[in-house]
């Protein structure tokens, strides 16, 4: 196989906006996605990770007394099974691994939650839930969603198991760090002892760390939208074909959308910055365009040494892509 790639699929890929979050819809979405992932796995050494925002939020509605580490574990197991079943039907054998990921329970994210979980709500319903259950609600486009703390991943407990699987069973696709992993912390008086943390780790930040620790050549973040846009939603909007981490940091790309596109862009930047591999790259693009991202026909590639920091995609505007014009999570 040519190279080692970590592919991160958003939880929203298993529940498109406007659709009810049901097992039937998840199975259908996974079946639609599976041939694309299976095809990539035939050509590359792949590790698949996935989000769980809609699913873990739905479980929280059903079981308001359960803590988010337990809900995260349940949703990761559920999604891992759904993906494994769909990929098996596409001829790809998988091994879903439930991963614990160490975080700092004193991280500042606990003071200002920003990670979207669960379904979308109208303003009145969001206010009612906030008052009755004490949830923190923030705008997500024209709707509202619950937000929870999202501390950065510090340590992936099962990383050696993932490495062993890649080295010893190259024909098996690992599904790892789903939902960003289950957030845990070490007890200071006994660091070997782990305890669950009430949070949800961003799957893209964890995917970036996973890719770095596996010495991956590339990180692909697949969305239900497209690449990174400048001035999204405005007449002069344009999509980036390639961009350097320095350009994205200098222009504060994605900072207007800290709960959605912002973490994806930061994850791409972090992977390229922290990679020990020469020529390491990250990419953000639509799930349906996954096969075209490798040759940069679609999406945005993030890498070092981009001439003038950015290359714009010719002939690609919001007006030319009706689907993109409805997406609110671009660079701003």
Strands 143-148 and 4-9: unpaired
Angle at which helix 203-213 crosses helix 159-168, to 10 degrees, equals 60
**Cα–Cα distance for residue pair 261/284, rounded to 1 Å:** 10
Catalytically annotated residue among 11, 179, 207, 332: 11
- Assess whether 203 carries a catalytic annotation: yes
Strand partners, 243: 302, 310
**Cα–Cα distance for residue pair 171/168, rounded to 1 Å:** 9
Catalytically annotated residue among 10, 12, 51, 226: 12
Catalytically annotated residue among 57, 72, 80, 115: 115
- Assess whether 12 carries a catalytic annotation: yes
Angle subtended at Cα 108 by Cα 106 and Cα 109, rounded to the nearest 5 degrees? 105
| CB distance 75 to 19 below 8 Å | no
Check residue 90 and report its DSSP letter.
T
Strands 238-243 and 229-230: antiparallel
Angle at which helix 68-89 crosses helix 53-62, to 10 degrees, equals 130
Beta strands in 157-260 (DSSP E): 173-176, 182-187, 190-196, 218-223, 229-230, 238-243
Catalytically annotated residue among 72, 118, 180, 264: 264
- Assess whether 118 carries a catalytic annotation: no
Per the listing, tokens 């350097």 go with 244
**Cα–Cα distance for residue pair 126/212, rounded to 1 Å:** 38
**How far from 81 is each of 52, 96, 118, 286, 301, CA to CA, in Å?**
13, 7, 20, 23, 30
| CB distance 96 to 52 below 8 Å | no
Catalytically annotated residue among 118, 178, 179, 203: 203
The catalytic site residues sit at: 11-12, 115, 203, 264
């Amino acid at each position: 196989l040519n190279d080692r790639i970590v592919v991160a699929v958003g939880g929203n890929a298993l529940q498109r906006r406007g659709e009810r979050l049901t097992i039937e819809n998840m199975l259908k979405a996974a079946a639609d996605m599976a041939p694309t992932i299976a095809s990539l796995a035939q050509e590359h050494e792949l590790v698949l990770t996935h989000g769980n925002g809609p699913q873990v939020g739905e479980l929280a509605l059903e079981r308001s007394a359960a803590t988010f580490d337990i809900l995260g574990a349940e949703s990761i197991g559920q999604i891992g099974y759904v993906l494994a079943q769909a990929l098996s039907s596409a001829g790809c054998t998988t091994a879903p691994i439930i991963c614990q990921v160490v975080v700092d329970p004193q991280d500042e994210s606990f003071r200002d939650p920003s990670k979207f979980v669960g379904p979308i709500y109208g303003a009145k319903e969001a206010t009612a839930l906030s008052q009755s259950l004490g949830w923190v609600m923030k705008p997500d486009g024209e709707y509202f969603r619950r937000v929870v703390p999202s501390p950065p991943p510090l340590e992936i407990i099962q990383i050696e198991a993932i490495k062993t699987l890649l080295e010893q069973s190259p024909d098996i696709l690992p599904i790892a760090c789903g939902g960003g992993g289950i957030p845990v912390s070490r007890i200071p008086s006994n660091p070997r002892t782990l305890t669950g943390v009430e949070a949800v780790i961003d799957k893209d930040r964890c995917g970036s760390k996973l890719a770095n620790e596996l010495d991956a050549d590339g990180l692909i973040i697949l969305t239900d939208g497209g690449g990174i846009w400048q001035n999204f939603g405005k007449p002069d909007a344009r999509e980036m074909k390639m961009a350097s981490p320095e350009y994205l940091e200098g222009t504060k790309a994605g900072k207007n959308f800290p709960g959605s596109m912002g973490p994806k862009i930061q994850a791409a930047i972090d992977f390229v910055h922290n990679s020990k591999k020469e020529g390491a790259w990250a990419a953000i693009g639509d799930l349906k365009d996954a096969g075209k991202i490798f040759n940069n026909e679609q999406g945005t590639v993030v890498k070092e040494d981009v001439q003038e920091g950015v290359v714009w995609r010719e002939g690609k505007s919001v007006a030319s892509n009706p689907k993109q014009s409805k997406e609110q999570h671009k660079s701003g």
